[in-house]
Amino acid sequence: MDKIPSFSINHERLLRGIYVSRKDQVGGDIVTTFDVRMKEPNREPAMGFGALHTIEHLAATYLRNDEEWKDRIVYWGPMGCATGCYLLVKGDLESRDIVDVMKRTFCFIADFEGEVPGAAPRDCGNYLLHDLPMARWEARRYLETLDNLREENLHYPA
């Protein structure tokens, strides 16, 4: 089997940031997949699954309600390695195009209080696996990355 492109990224040099993972033609539209990398792979601990699950619920809820972006959001979900999330957006976009909406999203998560949307037995397949305090902590830490973005946080390493 051929190695897929996402397994060809040099994870030993990958930093926290926002990367264009791929662009696909779907019907008449381009869908851009973003790698929203919240952890440096293999160099810092992965996120706990409770925090990552909560980030998934809060970010998906926020993005699908954002007036500017809601009609372009295709998917938000966690990476299996627990070092970030994937965001699929309708449009031919670059990393810089989504920095502002990512800042708003992670501010929402960092400041969120109350019941996590969709964290009930009827709404979620693992409703007990949530950790809002750690999700808020991870969001604040990632906001520091977003506030200090450099080119190496926006393009995959060679």
Mean pLDDT of 126-139: 98
Cα gap 151→158, rounded to integer Å: 13
pLDDT of 27 > 80? The answer is yes
What percent of the chain is modeled with pLDDT above 90? Answer: 90
Query: Can you give the CATH number for the domain in which 101 is found?
Result: 3.30.1360.80
| Angle, CA of 26, 92 and 14, to the nearest 5° | 105
Residue 4 lies in a domain: no
Each residue's pLDDT tens digit, 30-88 = 999 999 999 999 999 999 999 999 999 999 999 999 999 999 999 999 999 999 999 99
Helix axes 132-147, 99-111, angle to 10 degrees: 150
Residue 78 lies in a domain: yes
Q: Which domain holds residue 134?
A: 16-148
Residue 99 lies in a domain: yes
Burial of 49 (0-12, 13-18, 19+ CB in 10 A): middle
Residue 116 lies in a domain: yes
pTM of the model: 0.95
